[in-house]
Amino acid sequence: MKFIADCMLGTLAKWLIILGHDVRYFRRIEDAELVRIALAEKRTILTADRRLVQRRGARDHVLIDSHDLTRQIRTVLVAKRLRPRRDGLFRRCVRCNRPTRAVARAIVKSLVPPYVHRTQRRFRRCPACGRIYWRATHVRRMLQTLRARLRPCRPQIRLDRGANRS
Ligand SMILES: [Zn+2]
């Protein structure tokens, strides 16, 4: 799923990237340019601006009407029928939106804090900027929150199946 987020939604953009989605974000961009890129790259526009979504070419959009981050993420996931997946985490670089690559734990030893190296098993690295990612506690917590908040939207049959398995 590909998105482009307006200037107001930097934190939402960051979290959608953490969840593995391709999101372009500019600190400053004219509305017309944002719509042009969205059309050219077939991206869904994420915006809190009701005027922007009335523009021709902005039909594929998700209107964000909350300041609460979890609610914002939930709005996007529900609108696009996406589910937060643990294996999707950090598939892209938060800084440059490029796909990251798995990197061996031994290689990152001198590059991450000792505690992180001791406690984490899996790491990913951005080939463009070199930034290293791991599943930090706050990210796991956000994923849990999102999964909990999305639960009522799941079809009943899935819940039943889950209950049978346990
Ligand atoms: Zn990067």
- Of residues 149 and 68, more confidence is placed in 68
Residue among 79, 116, 88, 78 at smallest CA distance from 15: 88
Q: Is 125 helix (H, G, I), strand (E, B) or coil?
A: strand
Residue among 45, 134, 131, 46 at smallest CA distance from 96: 131
Q: Measure the CA–CA gap between 76 and 63, rounded to whole angstroms.
A: 9
Cα-to-centroid distance, 102 and ligand 1 (Å): 13
Tell me: the pLDDT tens digits for 55-87? 989 999 999 999 999 999 999 999 999 988 888
Cα-to-centroid distance, 160 and ligand 1 (Å): 41
Supply the pLDDT for residue 115: 94
Cα-to-centroid distance, 76 and ligand 1 (Å): 23
Q: Measure the CA–CA gap between 102 and 98, rounded to whole angstroms.
A: 13
Tell me: the pLDDT tens digits for 3-49? 999 999 999 999 999 999 999 999 899 999 999 999 999 999 999 99
Tell me: the pLDDT tens digits for 116-135? 999 999 999 999 999 999 98
Cα-to-centroid distance, 22 and ligand 1 (Å): 13
Cα-to-centroid distance, 95 and ligand 1 (Å): 5
pTM confidence score? 0.83
β-strand 22-25 against 2-5: which pairing, if any?
A: parallel
Cα-to-centroid distance, 13 and ligand 1 (Å): 15
